[in-house]
Structure 1
Amino acid sequence: MRKIFTFGRKIRNKAKSTLSNLLLKTPLALNSPYLAAMSLAFLTKKENSNGSKYKVLALARSIFMDDVKAMSEFSGQIEFLSTPLPYWQIFFDHFMRGPKYELLEENNYHVTNYCTEGREKYFQFIMKFLPAYKKFSGFKAILTGNFAYMPQQELARACTKLNIPFIVLHKEAVAVSESYENYVNQYKNHKFIGAKVLFYNKQNMEGLLNINMAGLSRDNSSIVGIPRFDNYFLSPDEKPNRKQIVFFSFWPRHSFRYITKDEDKLKKIDERSEQFFKMVMELAKKHPDVSFVVKTKRAKHFVEYVENILNKYFKDGIANFKITNIGDPSEMIHQSLAVIGFSSTTLIEAIVVGKLIVTPDFDDIMAGQPWDYFTNHQKLVHYARDIETLEQLLFEKAHNFQYDREARDDFLNEYISTTAGGASKKAEHAIIETIETYNKLS
């Protein structure tokens, strides 16, 4: 039944992709910004309907849209529309043809002359397209989840010219505090174009201000917290399923990319990670009455990483071990007895809702170097290097577990700027305030 459902979803997605490609590429072939505006307006999705005079277009990406949905549910002052960012990528690709396009990246977009002609043509197209699209859709501002995406650079420039607030709710914000300098250095060559950047926490805002990123200042920066976390702060916790454990998967090379470049350490981390996954699989096999849900990121290689380990050690599979790259993380956390993961905001989410968290232990490999969120918050985390420890944590300690309140609050203030929620209201207030400021200027 699951295979039939998955196949049906793939067919629907393929049909939707074919239709959207046809509707967006045809106006480009005809060089018609007006027709492109009509097509994108037809494809634009209404996320909520509350009659608000503040309509905001969200450039949809996973995780970011969880924040948008949370704002709709827990604040409700804005009516959100959305278009997937890949739709804008279609426009962008049309104008960025040629060999230099292969060299153009987020990190060099504002410091090279690659595709200068294509960028200008794209900008001129957007300048004609955007007023018509705004008229058809009715939005007052545009909201996105990162200031770095290439397809939105000229869009942001056009918004500035046309007096449309372009706002970023910067979702790439939570990293190991002690390695944060390495993390923010990736943005040194970037440039913010727009009206406002809303940050999850002080660490991220100060880090980006300290590297003097072009276009960013204290005047256009604000800390609002993480809206989607209101799902935990402001919703009553569901009765956990004593028969479910969720494992938010990680890919070690990705998780350690800002922490170490030492290849010897990385090889040991790869080996330790594989053994950790194997231990979880062994416990799933040992406890067939317990559902182990492994949630990966969307991209295919994240799914394949777990599947390859499963096939290596358990060729016949494990009936109660489910690998998925879809589903609502908040529901999975609410419904589980314990949460497994590494260097993921889902572990912070689990702390908010009071679930025991378990993570692999890399301390001996990293030899005193900070490597996870909990370096200064050891009371909150449980490390497992052997299967006996892992089993004891999941099947004994997780029952009736409670956090030390002071340690929990100290950690949450550092990473998400609140111990009580309310980020959705703060974010919407900042967006509305920005729209009103632009209205006064115009």
Structure 2
Amino acid sequence: MLRKLKIKFKSQFYENVLKLSMVIGNPRFTASVLAIITGRIKRGSEYTALVLGRTIFYDDIDAMARFSRKLNYAIIHLSYWEIIFSHFTDPAERKMLTETNYYSSDYCRKGKENYYRYLKQMFPYLKWSLKIDAIISGNIGYVVQQELAKVCGEQGVPFIALHKEAMDVYGGRLESYSDFKFIGARILFYNNRIREEALKRIAGLSEGNTAVVGIPRFDSYFRDQRKPNHKQVVFFCFYPKDKFLAIIRDEQKLARAKQAYADFHKLMIDFAAEHPDFRVIMKTKNAQYYMDYVLGILRASHQTQPSNLVITKSGKASDLILSSSAVIGFDSTALIEAVAADRPVICPDFRDFVSSQSWNFFAGFEGLVNYVKIKQDLDKFLLGPMLQTDQTKPTRNTFLERLIGPPDGNASIRAESAILETIKNY
């Protein structure tokens, strides 16, 4: 607890100092503050990439640093760039500005111009201080990086995106990408289908500035052969405002789907209460509202939390998956990770809520999934002698190659090689 308080105090202190640097309008001071708060991963390389940090993207960076080791990394969380951007924008307008309307609306026009001018003055100091050779982001659309990418191009630093939102292509929500624009040096995709669909829709993309590398954070599943705890399962929780629900047009079906979301979470809580010999981990995303959703279902159905039930937003997905005997979730890359780790997959059967299966990356590979409609299904899968899934190597490899490229544990090497090639040829 004391350590958490110290971290929170330190973070708040640097946020306030960063805001002060903006108030006095000193770009060099701003660069100095950013340099101080920078996290570093050193690998003895002559090249350093500045990472625009987000929680899941850290796992990809960590994998590249562990398994490829060709780059040094300097990491500044996106929240600090948001502080700088917000200084120049009207709060009401900032709420209206999104990734999809950044280039098509007039929101924050003057703020974007002032932000750009400030970055243009600040970035040379930051580049010198951190010895930056490239900038890497986990998404092409983040609002706060658009002007930064422009400045990078003008100042000879390649801006590269390792687009981690790859599975959007399976959600039936592709048209929003038509409003995006890529002004960086190169974009790296998880799989070929994402690349092909992005090339059709996103301005600034070409065959020459795109590449497919796979998913670096998946490499550990092909390299780590640890044995699972046969009395532990992990459930990657979902939330009733996700992209699957967005494609349900019928209001009555949508209401039933939202209730089904809550019912499945309750089913997992009930299982933990009924089977104290199992350790049930319910993993939420990082934002507090994800945690509040699960805790609300718990409080509505149980007076106390079962001692064997862990509800958490921390912990690496790879560790949770590798240490568990089964992985439970819905419409999540965690389920693809489970297949890569050779762990059985359990999924609520929500397929009847929509007629099209374009969102379902398991379509055609249903044998890899144990579908749950009722409580008895879950009990059968978790309490039976063995989960039955078609984890034969040809089926598994065909499924994985379609989604993550060659299932060989070398995505980190391909990603860093592509980044280095971009740096050297820029």
Equivalent in the alignment of 2:251: 263
In 1, Cα distance between the equivalents of 2:358 and 2:111?
Answer: 44
In 2, Cα distance between the equivalents of 1:416 and 1:349?
Answer: 10
Matched positions, count: 426
In 1, Cα distance between the equivalents of 2:356 and 2:45?
Answer: 52
In 1, Cα distance between the equivalents of 2:385 and 2:329?
Answer: 17
Using structure 1 for the length normalisation, give the TM-score. Answer: 0.92
Distance 1:421 1:12, change over 3 A: same
In 2, Cα distance between the equivalents of 1:83 and 1:176?
Answer: 28
In 2, Cα distance between the equivalents of 1:279 and 1:42?
Answer: 46
In 1, Cα distance between the equivalents of 2:244 and 2:385?
Answer: 28
61-70 vs 356-365, which moves further: 356-365
Distance 1:386 1:262, change over 3 A: same
In 1, Cα distance between the equivalents of 2:360 and 2:422?
Answer: 35
Deviation at 1:125, TM superposition (A): 0.8
59-68 vs 274-283, which moves further: 274-283
Match for residue 26 of structure 1 among 20, 26, 48: 20
- Does 2:224 correspond to 1:231? no
Matched-pair contact (CA < 8 Å) for 1:276–1:385? no
Match for residue 164 of structure 2 among 160, 171, 175: 171
- Does 2:144 correspond to 1:144? no
Using structure 2 for the length normalisation, give the TM-score. Answer: 0.96
Equivalent in the alignment of 2:204: 215
Cα deviations by residue, 1:48-77 (Å, 9 ceiling, x for unpaired):
222100110101101111000000000000
Q: What runs of 5+ residues in structure 2 fail to find an aligned partner?
A: none
In 1, Cα distance between the equivalents of 2:119 and 2:203?
Answer: 23
Q: CA RMSD in A?
A: 1.7
- Does 2:152 correspond to 1:159? yes
Tell me the secondary structure at the aligned position of residue 358 of structure 1: strand
State how 1:108-127 maps to structure 2 within 5 Å.
Answer: 108-127=101-120
Tell me the secondary structure at the aligned position of residue 122 of structure 1: helix
Tell me the secondary structure at the aligned position of residue 244 of structure 1: strand
Q: What runs of 5+ residues in structure 1 fail to find an aligned partner?
A: none
Match for residue 338 of structure 1 among 326, 337, 340: 326
Matched-pair contact (CA < 8 Å) for 1:176–1:372? no
Match for residue 282 of structure 2 among 265, 272, 294: 294
Matched-pair contact (CA < 8 Å) for 1:338–1:398? no
Equivalent in the alignment of 1:56: 49
Match for residue 87 of structure 1 among 80, 89, 110: 80
Tell me the secondary structure at the aligned position of residue 286 of structure 2: coil
Tell me the secondary structure at the aligned position of residue 382 of structure 1: strand
- Does 2:418 correspond to 1:430? yes
Matched-pair contact (CA < 8 Å) for 2:47–2:132? yes
In 1, Cα distance between the equivalents of 2:385 and 2:253?
Answer: 31
Q: What is the letter of the counterpart of residue 187 of structure 1?
A: Y
Matched-pair contact (CA < 8 Å) for 2:182–2:205? yes
Match for residue 188 of structure 2 among 171, 190, 198: 198
Deviation at 1:99, TM superposition (A): 4.6
Equivalent in the alignment of 1:362: 350
- Does 2:176 correspond to 1:183? no
Deviation at 1:292, TM superposition (A): 0.2
% identity of equivalent residues: 39
Tell me the secondary structure at the aligned position of residue 35 of structure 2: helix
Q: What is the letter of the counterpart of residue 33 of structure 2?
A: S
Match for residue 35 of structure 2 among 32, 37, 41: 41
Distance 1:57 1:370, change over 3 A: closer
Deviation at 1:369, TM superposition (A): 4.4
